[in-house]
């Protein structure tokens, strides 16, 4: 009986993990039109969450599609305005996967905090999400020296000064 219960729990947990990491269907959203971008507003947070729930595996087709979708949506949506802090992007040293993750973090923070208008706070809070993700070994992020310094600064509560 214990083995049966354990097997059932294992299957349930595995199924939950698999469901949580499924990318929503993106091809039904036409980001070339304002109406299509507005329709995609409802799925943008799910796409951003997908990027944070899956390990950073290079050339993963689902992650690539999610990143492209979010970048196009951020440009196209008339509902939200995103200010991209170039100084923060420089911290990723050309790592497009981390840049996409930062865009996902901006999306998450903006959609979860619609009343926040302070662009500096939005940028810093998004960066904190990226650093937490990068610092988790399960996400398989290869950290540059700069990212290691930012993680250390964030852990000491001094991220704003380090940026």
Contact 66, 47 (CB under 8 A): yes
- The crossing angle, in degrees rounded to 10, of helices 61-76 and 34-53 is 140
Angle at 48 between CA 42 and CA 49, to 5 degrees: 100
pLDDT at 22: 87
Task: Give 54's DSSP letter.
Answer: S
Residue 63, classed as helix, strand or coil, is: helix
Q: Is residue 18 situated within a structural domain?
A: no
126-150 pLDDT tens trace? 999 999 999 999 999 999 999 999 9
Q: How many domains does the chain have?
A: 1
Q: Is residue 4 situated within a structural domain?
A: no
Q: Is residue 138 situated within a structural domain?
A: yes
Nearest one of 72, 74, 96, 95 to 84, comparing CA atoms: 74
Q: Is residue 63 situated within a structural domain?
A: yes
Q: Is residue 101 situated within a structural domain?
A: yes
Q: Is residue 19 situated within a structural domain?
A: no
User: Which residue blocks in the chain are alpha helix, DSSP H?
Assistant: 2-20, 34-53, 61-76, 86-90, 96-112, 119-134, 145-155, 159-162
How much is the pTM? 0.84
pLDDT at 59: 84
- Mean pLDDT of the region 64-93: 95
**Whole-Å CA distances, 3 to 8, 67, 93, 116, 121:** 9, 41, 50, 50, 50
**Domain span at residue 112?**
25-162
| Residue 17 pLDDT level (bands cut at 50, 70, 90) | very low
| Cα-to-chain-centroid distance, residue 90 | 17
Q: Is residue 141 situated within a structural domain?
A: yes
Q: Is residue 29 situated within a structural domain?
A: yes
């Amino acid at each position: 009986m214990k083995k049966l219960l354990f097997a059932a729990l294992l299957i349930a947990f595995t199924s939950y993990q698999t469901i949580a990491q499924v990318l929503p269907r993106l091809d039904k959203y036409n980001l070339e039109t304002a109406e299509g971008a507005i329709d995609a507003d409802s799925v943008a947070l799910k796409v951003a969450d997908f990027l944070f729930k899956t390990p950073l595996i290079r050339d993963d087709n689902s992650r690539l599609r999610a990143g492209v979708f979010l970048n196009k949506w951020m440009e196209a949506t008339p509902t939200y305005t995103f200010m991209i802090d170039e100084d923060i992007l420089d911290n990723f040293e050309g790592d497009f996967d981390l840049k996409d993750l930062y865009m996902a973090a901006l999306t998450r923070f903006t959609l979860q905090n619609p009343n926040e208008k302070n662009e500096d706070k939005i940028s810093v809070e998004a960066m904190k999400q990226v650093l937490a993700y990068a610092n988790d070994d399960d996400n398989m992020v290869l950290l540059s020296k700069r990212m290691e310094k930012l993680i250390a600064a964030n852990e000491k509560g001094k991220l704003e000064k380090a940026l």
